[in-house]
Amino acid sequence: MSDTITLNCLGNGSIALVKEVVAEGLTRRRLLDLGLVPGTKVEVIRRSPVGDPIAFNIRGAVIALRREVAGKVLVSPWG
C-alpha cells in the first residue's frame, strides 16, 4: 500500500486519491459535498501568490481550500 499523507502536503501538479476525510461537522459536510469522497482523484493545480490557499481540480471544478482544511483530507499519491 502507498503512503498516506494530507492533501496540503502535495506539490503543485501532483495527483492523489482521497482515502478519508477526517474533518468534523460543517467542514466535513462541505468537503464531502464537493465530491471529496474516498476514491476521488484530486489534482493540485496551484498555490496563491503567498502560498495559501491551494487550488485543486476536484471532478473538473477548480476549488481553492485553505491549508488547514486541505490538511483534513487524507490521500495517497497516485501515479
CB 44 within 8 A of CB 14: yes
CB of 48 to another protein, least distance (A): 5
Measured CA to CA, the distance from residue 20 to residue 37 in angstroms comes to 7
Which conformational region is residue 16 in: left (phi greater than 0), alpha (psi within -120 to 50 degrees), or beta?
beta
| Residue placing its CB nearer to another protein in the complex, 9 or 63 | 63
Task: Tell the residue number behind the cell numbers 503543485, with chain if given.
Answer: 12
Site string for another protein, 40-59 (x = CB under 8 A): x----xx-xxxxxx-x----
- Decide: is 1 part of the binding site for another protein (CB under 8 A): no
CB of 77 to another protein, least distance (A): 21
Residues 10-29 binding another protein (CB under 8 A) are 23, 26-29
